[in-house]
Structure 1
Amino acid sequence: MSVEPFDAVDVIRIKRDGGAVPEDALRWLIDAYTREYVADAQMAAFAMATLLNGMTRDEIRVMTDAMIASGERMSFAGLGKRTVDKHSTGGVGDKITLPLAPLVASFGVAVPQLSGRGLGHTGGTLDKLESIPGWRAALSNDEMTAQLRDVGAVICAAGTGLAPADKRLYALRDVTGTVEAIPLIASSIMSKKIAEGTDALVLDVKFGSGAFMKDVDRARELARTMVALGTDSGVATTALLTDMNTPLGLAIGNANEVRESVEVLAGGGPADVVELTVALAREMLALAGQPDADVETALRDGRAMDSWRAMIRAQDGDPDAALPTARETHTVTAETDGVVTRLEALPFGVAAWRLGAGRARAQDPVVHAAGIDLHVKPGDTVRAGQPMFTLLADDDQRFTRALDALDGAWELDADAVAAAPAPLVLERITA
């Protein structure tokens, strides 16, 4: 039996006392945890020490690299075209991946979008796409590479071979109150993205009510940490800091968010969804060597829609099939005249989840037709009796708890003057 070169307790003590863990010790810790030599209790102590004391840039780089080394690395070197990916930290009504991937692909760039399922109030990209009859999330590496070569865009489930250390550590953070540690969030996200083998990466880091990071300063710190990680690993990385105080677009759910995405690809759709799709597409194409790409024209002239249809068909989906519709609806109307001054993202996300659009446990199914359709956004003037939003569910007994979640979540002001919404993109962060 071989002798381990380090002791977990010694490594924990270094971080507990505010020190920087030497590179070889930190690499050993991640490897030994993956091998189940280091116990969950010990890694939980290390995670808490990291939450309280932080990590240096070098420590975060080493930890991320060690997590990548715990599994396989993908490579798209043989594709013959640049690969660029996008990652969002998640929010309410955030369906941007759906129109974005085919839009960027329509410029001859490969977009390998390895996505996940939703848990809690933020929806999962795969859950949305599984609203489309026949569409499948699971692709082999060969299928994925072929689709990137032929279509340019693929949105599919990440394989279990990428950064398995992260899978263990993520589950542990979830039950030990250490999810919020920025070094652990950054290494978790970036280990998977770097292992994916993309040439470039654009991060959509959200702040506000419906975001993982409520506070803008912490969101900015996370964005800077992840941009530094990508840069240090040889992946060209930029980030946009974006507002998630209000739901994105007018659809919150699964099937209804697919409908809205198709509207954007057809040259229409809500202004905020179009704005963010265009902003992220410009960032991605600039990193892929096309800084002057005219992305608005590609939405208007049908190129992006052609890419979408090809992408859905390649994964056995029918882009022309009818999407699920809810059996039951409940519309909430304005009680007075006024201007909508607030529509708070988090309660609307929770309400959509209670209607069946999300899951409380990883094994729970989602109701693809469930969700919320908004009829107004902040800054809109409404009259008494005008529809504000419609709840969608397959079971009308779900409406009561959803409405409870929305108590106090929106505001009408009779004296307010209609104003332009706050800027959606607050800041661009580069290395």
Structure 2
Amino acid sequence: MTQPVTDTILKVENLSKQYRLGEVGTGTISHDLNRWWHKVRGKEDPFLKIGESNDRSSKGESDYVWALKDINFEVKRGEVLGIIGKNGAGKSTLLKILSKVTAPTTGSVKSRGRIASLLEVGTGFHPELTGRENIFLNGAILGMTKREIASKLDEIIEFSGCQRYVDTPVKRYSSGMTVRLAFAVAAFLEPDILIIDEVLAVGDAEFQKKALGKMQDISRGDGRTVLFVSHNMAAVKSLCTRGIVLENGKKKFEGTIDEALSSYSDAILANSTEVVFDENTNRTGSKKIQFTSLSIQNQNHIKTQEYSIGDDLKITFGIRLNNDEAKSEIAVQIKTADELPIYQMLARDSEFQINHSQTAETYSVTIRDLRLFPGVYVISLTSGNTTGHEVHDFIDNALSFQITDGGHYTVRSLPKSAGLIFLNPEWQKL
């Protein structure tokens, strides 16, 4: 009896990956022996029961953490799947497992056809070999014959733009050149599944546009499958047909790319307009001066996460002095939801001195006439000494807010991907 034909090219079932925290080699022999003893007796790995979720923003009690936990999804032939999530959500770990760079702790990955991946700058390249030799090496790894590789050689070299250096050892390439050649190799050697991590961000704008166009050709023209991880939401939206949102190592959402991007934005906005920082807050620094609270409000003194273009955004934060420093420097940074920095506001740039006279103090920063395009934005806080050589406290993504519309400036619909800063300059006919 013949098996039914299916166009599913990749199937992930109950996939999980556990890591041990701390220094490599600390206490691992006893743990390995314990695991071996359970295995020979046919019992479950005892450490699979104690791992905690992959939440990097909070402290845990266990030495084991689940980088991925119970991931299930299928990918059809010719589909472009976007995998999105915050830093530390498990995206790169998932791609490494799919690329067979590392093995899952539990679960399985079933794939059909050749897989080519571009995970990190220089992955799969031998630094002592020339660019030309590395092309043949990568092709051989993919199972291609020398003749097949040679037939694609000119296209690969031309697309990469590295003609002048193709016979130079790769160790002398810049990171941008390495990514150019690596992408060209991965794209032109005809893989059935192409896996691309954030590495394209290393290339310049021209090459990123060229690479995105090639990935569209691969999926739409050649019917091949692409898995794409990026913090560039505009690129994800234009390229991908479906999306998966990862959060703390778990699959939070799966659906159309528009629905996935909306789910990702909602997750970032899940916190409130006010937060109190304590010993459980994920922070770094010397602790000499620490933030204690953060809140946001508009020009009407209303605490809200929703703003329009033209509104005022007042950011109020409290600090606590744990030493006797008389002065310090404080910076407030605003980034997009995909962590692209927009503003970094230092007190001294506004000719304001942070002079300490009390153990507990409160400050505010007010942005008048907010000109950010509609979208979700996050606020990060940094305190340090006046020389900039020591960071006392750094809290990343402490609070979030969103711009919803054009306010009193415009009633037209403003697509999120159209820009970052809204301007209405003077226009003239000359």
Q: What TM-score do the two structures reach when normalised by structure 1?
A: 0.29
Q: Considering fraction of residues, name the structure with more strand.
A: 2
The structure whose Rg is larger is 2
Q: Considering fraction of residues, name the structure with more helix.
A: 1
Which gives a bigger RCO, structure 1 or 2 (Cα 8 Å, sep 6+)? 1
